[in-house]
Amino acid sequence: MKVTVFGIGYVGLVQAAVLAEVGHQVVCVDVDQNKVDNLEKGIIPIYEPGLTPLVKSNFEAGRVKFTTDAIKGVEHGDVVFIAVGTPPDEDGSADLKYVLAVAKTIAEAMTKHKIVINKSTVPVGTADKVKAKIAEVQESLGKSISYDVVSNPEFLKEGAAVNDCMRPDRIIIGTNSDGAEKKLRELYAPFNRNHDKIIVMDIRSAELTKYAANCMLATKISFMNEMANLAEVFGADIENVRLGIGSDPRIGYQFIYPGCGYGGSCFPKDVQALARSATEAGYTAKILESVEAVNYKQKEKLFEYISGHFGNNLKGKTAAIWGLSFKPNTDDMREASSRVLMEHLWEAGVKVQAYDPEAMEETQRIYGARDDLTLAGTKEAALKGADFLVICTEWQVFRAPDFELIKQSLSEPLLFDGRNLFEPSLMQEYGLHYYAIGRGLSIKER
């Protein structure tokens, strides 16, 4: 099938590569010439396991092409994905200007029927706006060509996006058109094996499903972080509580890990956007507002422990930080807890020596060169001459470190763990003063 994807960002590129891999003919359109040139040379703009070889092999086989020529792009595809960004504007609502600009381009260039698929995460009602935009532009040009607008949200996890796209657990198709449904069933048939994963529904429900999924997961995390804070208040251990509640299959073990807050491109943005669009519609989404507020506070947690430990006397200290990305297996620093921590530390006059397996270039890009930031070549090098260690991201390489070396390298045997990687009793045996999120033993030590 001939497919066009507008927006070679994270979602667009993964979707395009995976569709090409099963044999569809894909053209990707982006406004950024540099990005297009790089992709043609095999340089992939994001770090995502498995994506580079997939893009390269499909480009070499001629199944995926990259261009800035939007008109050619529209001509090519029977189905046209909109996968451009929807950045939050000042009040947290999703900004639709890029989505609507693509809708306008499609309307201007289309000469035959098109199925327009909204892949970007967009507020409920966006498909109607895209439809209206296409109608308006067609009318102004004196055209009247039929088209469908479908909502088909993505459910990709960074670090596992290729697999999530190849082996989706559900494919949501929001449409009121039998023709569009048939075409999308054909498009996704290669991914719809073993059992039927396609769920067809009305457009608005599909749009809300995407937000509801992310908000539910973010709610689980904020709920657990609130429980971790209560565990500290009451002198309990949140890790025991986690095991105790996760064993109930209605609750489950997934997404109940307490920590220094959730980040990334989806949860913070989507929780905010749904809360804001609820407010605009005259409804106060109290749970969502609390989920956001709890997460905001949770990102301050590590700095609270640190400044509490030193009695607010931090000036001149050096912090070693392990893990900068918002989660492992990505270089993405968007809304990462490490940023909140580093910015607080700098404000308090603390130098940072950080190590991350993938996100150091991105950190450099965001913060530039500064005297109070050193990016170390290894996790061990980050410890040298530092006063204490903080873990912000649970990369595998941090899970079994040389605790003796940590102790020897630091001026104080002091470890702040934002991801609860270790047993407080073991840390005690190693002679490390250990702060973790909501853990009884580390509380008793304090």
Would the annotation count 403 as a binding residue?
no
- Residue 255 or 346 with smaller CB distance to ligand UDX: 255
Q: Which of 105, 120, 175, 214 binds ligand UDX (CB under 6 A)?
A: 214
Which of these ranges, 16-24, 254-262, 313-321, 359-367, lies near ligand UDX under the rule CB under 6 A?
A: 254-262
- Selected catalytic residue, list 28, 165, 215, 266: 266
The token duo for 224 is: 């657990």
Identify which of 310, 336, 297 has the alpha carbon closest to the alpha carbon of residue 416: 310
Our finding on whether 259 is near ligand UDX (CB under 6 A) is yes
Q: Please report where in the chains the tokens 């430990």 appear, as a residue.
A: 309
- What is the Cα–Cα distance from 192 to 200, expressed in whole angstroms? 13
**Closest CB to ligand UDX among 5 and 227?**
227
Q: Examine residue 435 and tell whether it contacts ligand UDX (CB under 6 A).
A: no
| Whole-number Å distance between alpha carbons of 128 and 228 | 42
Cβ atoms of 24 and 32 closer than 8 Å: no
Report the alpha-carbon distance of residue 40 to residue 65 in Å, rounded.
Answer: 8
Q: Is 260 a catalytic residue?
A: no
Binding residue for ligand UDX (CB under 6 A) from 2, 97, 112, 157?
Answer: 157
Site residues (CB under 6 A) for ligand UDX, limited to 307-336? 326-327
Q: Is position 257 an interface residue for ligand UDX (rule: CB under 6 A)?
A: yes
- Is 9 among the residues that bind ligand UDX (CB under 6 A)? no
Residue 159 zone, left/alpha/beta (φ > 0; ψ -120 to 50; rest): left
**262 near ligand UDX, rule: CB under 6 A:** yes
The contact mask relative to ligand UDX for 117-156 (x = CB under 6 A, - = no) is --------------------------------------xx
Q: Is 258 annotated as a binding residue?
A: yes
The reply on whether position 424 binds ligand UDX by CB under 6 A is no
According to the annotation, is 156 in a ligand binding site? yes
Comparing CB distances to ligand UDX, the nearer of 77 and 264 is: 264
Contact yes or no for 401/426 (Cβ under 8 A): no
Taking the complex as a whole, how short is the minimal distance between the CB of residue 83 and ligand UDX, in angstroms? 13
Between the alpha carbon of residue 188 and those of residues 33, 79, 161, 197, 441, the distances in Å are: 30, 12, 16, 10, 51
Is 297 annotated in some ligand binding site? Answer: no
List b or e across 343-357, with b for residues whose CB sees 16 or more CB atoms inside 10 angstroms. Answer: ebbbebebbbbbbbb
Residue type present at position 113: H
Q: Three-class SS string for 78-142? A: CEEEECCCCCECCCCCECCHHHHHHHHHHHHHCCCCEEEEECCCCCCCHHHHHHHHHHHHHHHCC
Report the residue number, 16 or 350, with the smaller CB distance to ligand UDX: 16
CA–CA distance from 244 to each of 56, 394, 435 (Å)?
46, 22, 22
Residue (112 or 157) nearer to ligand UDX, CB: 157
Q: Given the rule CB under 6 A, which residues bind ligand UDX? A: 155-158, 214, 217, 221, 255-257, 259, 262-264, 266-267, 326-327
Annotated binding site: 30, 35, 86, 121, 155-158, 210, 255-259, 263, 269, 327, 334
Q: Which residues are catalytic?
A: 266
